[in-house]
Chains A and B, each alone.
Chain A
């Protein structure tokens, strides 16, 4: 039993930290810090910076352009990126489609698409959820029918994150309407510029534009855009959902959030004293901090296990459940710490009078509301409990 990082890992951490200090543009990190929406240009700039260092596709094997990191190194990289307020990498091409193509794609697909993900030519989005297929994803209805050398796609996808920026979408489509629901699904790549696609924004609870509806009306794509076998898309869907789960606990983001809560509570006055000296509030911070300390170790234990076994196990569902709950608690504490100062709608009060502690807090309440998504997306926490019930408890 040894909780310390190896010399090599510590040296790696120093290297990452130095890289971030030198190459993460101030303009981008302060945008992340303020909690507002990032522009497409900012996300693309950071993508290009990481790519030029070879640190972009952190979970790809080396032969496809990955850095060949161990799970612990990936964890260190993510932790340091959080610490430096680097943007979260847009995961759809890199962490979702990339591993799918590497595992299930043809050589031609790998050679065509993977380099374009790395150099930023193609921005990908995910076509999974539908209005009637959320947690019960396998009941999806968007259909793709063969017509000569083409698929003809009709239907609707929703919750398509950053679809407004995307060049391509990977879609789960029903290709055999008569098969059992998991068995008639295929995984198809679609150019967003194809005739018949319409993207409509969904305005979210805090007013932001992050997700979209995507409508498909007689959208024709080449037969060759099928990944893997026809009607075997569900296998790919499951692979994609369970494949890469390091970082799912969001420990780095919660460490950030805890620091912000403490900073706000130190500079906010209640009853003539800093809020952090109020025992009721301090008790809530302390409980969240204890949960987070435990989560740091739980996360490392799972990483270690993944490293030993070669793949993360179903325990990652526990990380997701608890990690999102802790993060949401910290966001709630930050909003409470600001009190009435969190109330104005972002952008309505501009003259810096909402500046507390180290972080610009203008978007604080917006982040609180936006973060309610984390226990819903990627398999809701209830679905995670179902997974653990089946795989670990065998009930």
Chain B
């Protein structure tokens, strides 16, 4: 696929950490960043899948390692980032991609479910960013790309914790953009709509379910994961150095709200 630029080795010398990178969209974000020359750390709670993914990317010529932990756990975050720094040096690109959802009626959403979703989606983004930002400030350069969701913009029934946590990610993005700007650190967000991932297939009971909802999208389809990756790579690259505090929705026109 042609993505509008000559990007070979554009990210050479950069160290990228992608959370939730063992599979799905996170894997594709990591793959694209590695292809463009960044040293990439795949962070995921699933150690084995992450190691295998890192192996695949190394085989394709990338400088890639895997680390495993829970982004919502401060000690895991410390351990994972320390390992990343020991291998490649300070993180200059952070992609806060790790996220979970759990659908169900509000009355049936337990506190444990609510807390778990918030812990990964929102607290994980906070903990990771807090841990890496000192290095970015020292370098007077950094790119933080948060992954939210169309549901964080417009809501969805039976998905309260997910929707609220993703709206929270928009809040973090905007507040950090303003707070970190004096150190030339750009903070932006990609808000994907429907994407063909394992998570999407599970939620919709397989491909037929996705094909039905695809009809409601103006472009009449869901995205392939790499289409979201290109947006992430753009916001991680020097091409977007004047863009900060923004939400870039990639949703096939399903939600059009930007003013």
- Mutual binders A and B: no
Binding site for B on A (CB under 8 A): none
Binding site for A on B (CB under 8 A): none
